[in-house]
Amino acid sequence: MSNVIVLPQTNQLKGLYTIIRDRNTKRSDFIFYADRIIRLLVEEGLNQLPVEPAAIETPTGAAFPGVKFQGKICGVSIMRAGESMEQGLRECCRSVRIGKILIQRDEETAQPKLFYDKLPADIDNRYVFLLDPMLATGGSAAMAVDVLKERGVPEERILFLNLLAAPEGIKLFTEKFPQVKIITGAIDDCLDEKKYISPGLGDFGDRYYCI
Ligand code: PRP
Ligand code: URA
């Protein structure tokens, strides 16, 4: 699984996850600590982008063989929960373009349904950071990648950033899209009978936006 990148499991990261997994964490803390993890995911996504040589001169007059990013990027959030990751991307990439795909998972069947998409016109020329905090069955993210591919984005230019992934979702997703990079903060044990990630953190969208 060379295209699955898990953030280094530092003590700091484990502590952040402990807070957001805790059912007793109040919403303001959930938002604050989830945002900190999101920032780490975005930074790791940027680490994965290719660079090209960029020679510069420093204030001392010395030449320095630097690098710069090779391509342009954009974000695409899977609404609703994916929108929580937009600010973290904006903090790292000023005035980044952001597209939206509204996909909702049916609460009974866990099947995804596509309602809407609005994407940058030149998305086929960009690296795409696909944003959704939860990779459970993988159905929603796979549907979003289908939309991106229909718009001409090659798989190898898609990086899917999520906070929590289930093995079942990773399997489905990597078999369908072997060239898309998954960047996650944690891989959990399994899905439960309601197709929620276990041990998980519950419903991310509800905890970030509602309860
Ligand atoms: C959640 C989550 C993902 C999806 C993951 O969204 O944000 O989009 O479920 O599940 P899957 O991998 O089994 O498809 P949900 O549809 O519950 O809506 P929300 O964003 O409004 O919370
Ligand atoms: N969506 C969530 O928010 N959490 C899960 O565990 C699965 C899907």
Mean pLDDT by 10 residues, the chain (211 residues): 93 98 98 98 98 98 96 96 98 96 94 97 98 98 98 98 98 98 98 98 98 76
Residue 174 designated active-site: no
Which residues surround ligand 1 with Cβ inside 6 Å?
A: 78, 80-81, 104-105, 110, 112, 132-141, 169, 195, 204-205
Distance CA 55, CA 78 (A): 38
4-209 is a CATH 3.40.50.300 domain: no
**Which atom of ligand 1 lies at the shortest distance from residue 105's CA?**
16
On whether the CB atoms of residues 38 and 92 are closer than 8 A, the answer is: no
Position 1 scores a pLDDT of 67
Give the span between the Cα atoms of 33 and 18, in whole angstroms.
10
- From ligand 1's centre to the CA of 135, what distance in Å? 8
Q: Which atom of ligand 1 is nearest to the CA of 139?
A: 14
**What does the pLDDT read at residue 211?**
76
pTM above 0.85, yes or no: yes
203: annotated active-site residue: yes
Q: List the beta bridge partners of residue 69.
A: 51
Question: What span, in angstroms and rounded, lies between the C-alpha atoms of 180 and 89?
Answer: 19
